[in-house]
Amino acid sequence: MMTFDRIGVVGGGAWGTALAQTLTLAGRNVVLWAREAEVVEDINTRHVNRTFLPGLDLDPRLSATHDLTDLGTADAILLVAPAQHTRAISAALQPIVAKDVPVVVCAKGIEQGSGQLVAQIVAQTIPGARLAVLSGPSFAADVARGLPAALTLACRNEALGRALAEQLGGRQLRLYWSDDVVGVELGGALKNVLAIAAGIVDGKRLGASAHAALVTRGFAEMRRLGKALGARPETMMGLSGFGDLVLTAGSPQSRNMSLGRALGQGEALDAVLSKRVAVTEGVYTAAAVARLAAEKRIEMPITDAVHAILEGRTSVDDAIADLMKRPFKAED
């Protein structure tokens, strides 16, 4: 039987810290790698992460490090670094990760330059890695506090996927297993872009009806691109697709929705981003998704509108007007 008692978590942001806290409370021996020296010191000496997860006391058994080699004895690695930094960090991990150690991708996004999903990047930079993907509707603060949540863990190797789901999950974190790696990862990436659009609707005070229409038609875009890339429909309908969209596009607690709300209220993108320490993945994923949709000839008007707003090629008001002026069509 595969056992994963020693866990290395790469990324000291809110989500990495929440996962590390949850696994520590479940009795795992967890080492959390963080790029920021102040985060490492905070966790090790004060048992908090004031930078990314303020107001939460961490288990004293959780240790943090600034040295990736400290993760060399881990039974499994959770890769939680932002998507745009994954290539560099996973390349640094390559000589450290032992051959049979699973690497579980926990970041949600698409690399802006290459248009690749995070698991694809890891497969390139750590050849032969035993890959899995963890995604689904989850706010870091909720999970870190031990509130109930359910996620999907995807792995093409059924035995490994089931073992990871059973041993990384717990009483408050229910994990479902899937072998649809592309579908699980794609849902987590696309919902960030649509959450920005939902935030714009909220910021412009367009009402609950507009919000419901936005989420529904946005989900249609997710399904279309998912189908083109080989994702199964039931995956897109599940926790990592529709479930994550409902959460992220439904609460300003979401970084992506709160950014969209600020844009809808007239704030400039640079001004919003300058106030944040955490990465808002949808800003970078939008360009990659828009380019991917164009290459696949997939119609994604909401995604294209978000991309145009973020690039400064159109205003919020003009983007809304253009969406509402689109020709009438049958609902797909």
Report the catalytic residues: 191
Whether residue 256 contacts residue 195, with contact meaning beta carbons closer than 8 Å, is answered with: yes
* Cα dihedral 126/290/140/153 (nearest 10): -50
Pick from 133, 142, 101, 109: which is nearest to 15 by CA?
142
CA distance 137 to 253: 12
CA distance 138 to 140: 6
Phi and psi torsions of 51, nearest 5°: -70, -45
CA distance 173 to 143: 8
Pick from 319, 301, 211: which is nearest to 263 by CA?
319
Residues 6+ apart with CB under 8 A from 329: none
Residues 6+ apart with CB under 8 A from 88: none
Pick from 118, 124, 137: which is nearest to 186 by CA?
118
CA distance 70 to 139: 28
Taking the alpha carbons at both ends of the chain, their separation in whole angstroms is 45
CA distance 220 to 243: 14
